[in-house]
Chains A and B, each alone.
Chain A
């Protein structure tokens, strides 16, 4: 196995586990945790420790071990969650994250931070006089008790029987390194390698595993922890673990269950000090009696353990639950395949080329005038379209991935600001393009921080305003007409129109006599360097940011819309296209050139009435501003009859006047060279089936342009 690749998987896994820990810890702040969650929390820390051990990330192992011990006490109900503990564990979780991220980096500062956290953790590890409940290991004096089931083994160490499957070596596992790692759990008192299963030389396959191991381990670890050492080989091995002070019955059961000669195993147990010679003889005798009695019914081992009073029922439940969850996780893993994103990008590039080539073939087939060829080409094009959709879906991920980091942010920021803020997330399963998920995180983060800092008021102000003291921050995502809409809403004070306008006039952004709509005023806050905050906090208020947010959203071909009501709150609405790569386009002709309009934005097409005015027409009684694209782009008019494509963007409609309608096609979007970045009204280009270049119209910008023109016309007397 390639180590770098494995390490990459480890990092991914750690990220997921840490995110899970965070989610549980945050839930612990508001609710009592279910035992399942406590176990999950423990398991996260434990898995990180275990995997880090495999990669020899000792700092991670050591620190996580401390955290794990505290989590273990929580899990056993010896200590309970309270606010300082939750906060401490959150810090620890962050620290694990930084340790994992920078195993070879700046270790001095990390070590100092880690030592401080460990010192604080230690406070939770002090022995408590009366443990609340659930003691996994019975007190030693119980070991002397006998109750007809036979004498009791006296050794105070665990006994492990390991039989590895034939394929473990081939699967890249090394049994002895698991055993060496077991040393991290405790001290190996005695180890015996069983060679009985070795075959004759002729049947010897050097890459098969034939060895078994009997181990006596002195350890304070729990059974689950010992078991977890073998997580990676559990499917490939038979692992039996007997707790300290196990009864002779169980050793007999073990001896009987294993394939090797009973006497040999007995000798090993004696050698390891688990059994005394006398006990062994007694046990073997008891075994024979039991056989003679012939009891057909065999209790499952779990029930037997509980009946025997060896293990608390809760412990068995936990172990079973853990096993089940492990299986579920494996099942989930089996349902998904991890693919490096560059391979996916390459596939999408190829599909893009395929779409263009397919369109070319379709065009040529149409010209050739052979019905069979045309039909075949049409079939091909349909399939290509399906491949395109399926391929693009591969890159779709739920936006929940982005949302999931906000509960923590909101919690921390709210605490810093002394505000009480509840986060409500909806539509987390809305999907969007992976590349967009990566790029939308920062702008969203900015909007969320802004909403908390400037939007939501401190509790006292809220109570004065007659609102509940706890502010609400909403994160919502949904699909709407080929776009994804992400909303960040708060129920705070709302934007103050007058103050924004005053500030804008002061800064010369708006002329003193200029009239602006509410929406336009709100959009002023997106101007560079604009801030109405009276106080600059360390979070926001410096007036950098909103313009950056706007720019990053525009770079994704999206737009930002602001809605606010004084005293009721503000909603920032980000509207993004679903994908950046391929869209359905509507081709129109202007002079000799072809232009493409994203089909999602097209509402309808009508003929341009000969009596239409230059800049608007009446569409079923509604005023529709017209944009004469020929004039705008300086194309020479060719057709006598013109058409109007009615488009919708940002809740506004406009009509684009074009020379001809060419129909629908798939459009592979190619970004414009930086030279042309400043061009207005054009968002990209594409290559048509004929090999010609067609420009893609930036409809939202054109619509805004039309609205601005209309306003100017209305303002003029």
Chain B
């Protein structure tokens, strides 16, 4: 797992989250997000390989972090699947880009 700021110029801070978002990494991630300065932040989830319940909780909690507006962007397939499974896309409220599904047509 890695959590790093890729761009802090301009409007929202851009952060990139890679690897596992799970019970094994949430404790570290809690610290990571606390360590950041104030202000809005976009967290790119395109590199997330694995999400579990603890990971979902972390996403929900990050949203509630006072004094900061956290937005999740570029959800990876693993994240999308889990959000769908737990029916949490609504509560989190981030716009999702759904993968193209040829069967839908």
Contacts and interface: CB of A to CB of B under 8 A. Distances in A.
B85 A206 contact: no
Interface stretch (B9-17, B53-61, B94-102): B53-61
21 contacts: A169-B23, A169-B52, A169-B53, A169-B54, A170-B23, A174-B52, A174-B53, A176-B85, A190-B87, A191-B87, A193-B56, A198-B57, A198-B60, A198-B61, A198-B64, A206-B26, A206-B30, A207-B23, A207-B54, A209-B54, A211-B86
Nearest to B92: A195
Interface in A165-209: 169-170, 174-177, 179-180, 190-193, 195, 198, 200-201, 204, 206-207, 209
Nearest to A176: B53
Contacts of A180: 85
B91 A206 contact: no
Contact of A195 (B27, B66, B82, B91): B91
A206 B87 contact: no
B80 to A, nearest CB: 14
Nearest to A173: B53
Interface residues of B, number: 22
B5 interface: no
Contacts of A177: 52
A206 B58 contact: yes
Interface in B1-45: 23, 26-27, 29-30
Nearest to B22: A174
B86 A176 contact: yes
Given A198-B61, A198-B64, A201-B61, A206 B54 contact: yes
A206 B57 contact: yes
A189 to B, nearest CB: 11
Given A169-B53, A211-B56, A193 B23 contact: no
B87 A193 contact: yes
Contacts of A200: 64
Nearest to A204: B61
A174 B54 CA distance: 9
B52 A179 contact: no
B61 A209 contact: no
Contacts of B88: 193, 195
Contacts of B57: 198, 206, 209-211
Contacts of B52: 169, 174, 176-177
Contact of A191 (B56, B65, B66, B86): B86
A200 B64 CA distance: 8
Contacts of B53: 169, 174-176, 209, 211
Contacts of B54: 169, 206-207, 209
Q: Is the interface of B mostly helix, strand, loop or mixed?
A: helix
Interface in A65-95: none
Given A193-B87, A204-B30, A206-B54, 10 more contacts: A169-B54, A174-B52, A175-B53, A176-B85, A176-B86, A193-B56, A201-B64, A201-B66, A206-B29, A211-B53
A281 to B, nearest CB: 24
Contacts of A179: 85
A441 B58 CA distance: 55
Contacts of B87: 190-193
B66 to A, nearest CB: 7
Given A174-B53, A193-B87, A207 B26 contact: yes
A462 B36 CA distance: 91
A191 B91 CA distance: 13
Interface in A301-323: none
Interface string A46-64: 0000000000000000000
A190 B87 CA distance: 9
Nearest to B30: A206
A170 B57 CA distance: 14
Interface string A434-470: 0000000000000000000000000000000000000
Interface string A623-662: 0000000000000000000000000000000000000000
Interface string A94-115: 0000000000000000000000
Interface in A269-328: none
A261 to B, nearest CB: 15
Given A204-B30, A207-B26, A193 B61 contact: no
A193 B86 contact: yes
Contacts of A204: 30, 61
Which among A170, A190, A201, A206 has the highest number of chain B CB atoms within 10 Å?
Answer: A206
Contacts of A210: 57
A191 B66 CA distance: 28
A589 B11 CA distance: 96
B65 A201 contact: yes
Contacts of A176: 52-53, 56, 82, 85-86
Interface string A201-235: 10010110111010000000000000000000000
Contacts of A169: 23, 52-54
A201 B61 CA distance: 7
Contacts of B26: 206-207
Nearest to B27: A206
Contacts of B86: 176, 191, 193, 211, 213
- What are the 9 A-B residue pairs with the smallest beta carbon separation, nearest first? A206-B26, A193-B86, A206-B30, A191-B87, A175-B53, A206-B27, A169-B23, A169-B54, A176-B53
B75 to A, nearest CB: 16
Nearest to A210: B57
Given A195-B60, A201-B64, A207 B27 contact: yes
A195 B58 CA distance: 12
A175 B88 CA distance: 15
Given A174-B53, A209-B54, A193 B27 contact: no
A200 B63 CA distance: 11
Contacts of A209: 53-54, 57
B28 to A, nearest CB: 9
Nearest to B87: A191
A179 B87 CA distance: 12
A214 to B, nearest CB: 10
A267 to B, nearest CB: 13
A428 to B, nearest CB: 45
Which among A179, A200, A207 has the highest number of chain B CB atoms within 10 Å?
Answer: A207
A209 B52 CA distance: 11
A190 B90 CA distance: 14
Interface string A667-689: 00000000000000000000000
Contacts of B58: 206
Contacts of B56: 176, 193, 211
Nearest to A183: B85
A195 B86 CA distance: 11
